[in-house]
Amino acid sequence: MTVTRFQDLPLADRDREWDGDAADKRVRAWADAEDEPDAAYRDAHIWYDGDKPGNFGSYKLLIADVVGGRLKAVPRAVMAAGNIMQGARGGIDLPADEVDRVKSHLARYYQKMGDSPPWAR
């Protein structure tokens, strides 16, 4: 189990719509990860199951999309992930000891957006 390394991705426009399924398809194509996940695909997520890195279902909290040929963090995706993480165990199946690290990762993107995460308000 592991939290991905902070990528400091550039931000997409704040008003960009978020469609996680469509973003996942674009990220897979961009990362050349259509058969199995790779490091570039991992960079678009906050967390993945390190015991099963070859399983697409191991990747959680997609926050990025391909915009103009580049991987960018999408503010609405960051906010959606933040809302998920606002719950006690994060609203998704993550190890309890990794929730704080996930929140810390997300908080760095909130700071970059000039905002505070929902659990800090």
**For the segment 38-55, what is each residue's pLDDT rounded down to a tens digit?**
999 999 999 999 999 999
What is the domain count for the chain?
1
Tokens describing residue 77: 């995706």
Residue range of the domain that includes 9: 2-120
Distance, in Å, from the CA atom of 31 to the CA atom of 51, rounded to the nearest integer, reads: 21
Distance, in Å, from the CA atom of 106 to the CA atom of 92, rounded to the nearest integer, reads: 15
The whole model's pTM is what?
A: 0.93
- Across 97-108, average pLDDT: 94
| Residues in Cβ contact with 79 at an 8 Å cutoff, skipping those fewer than 6 apart | none
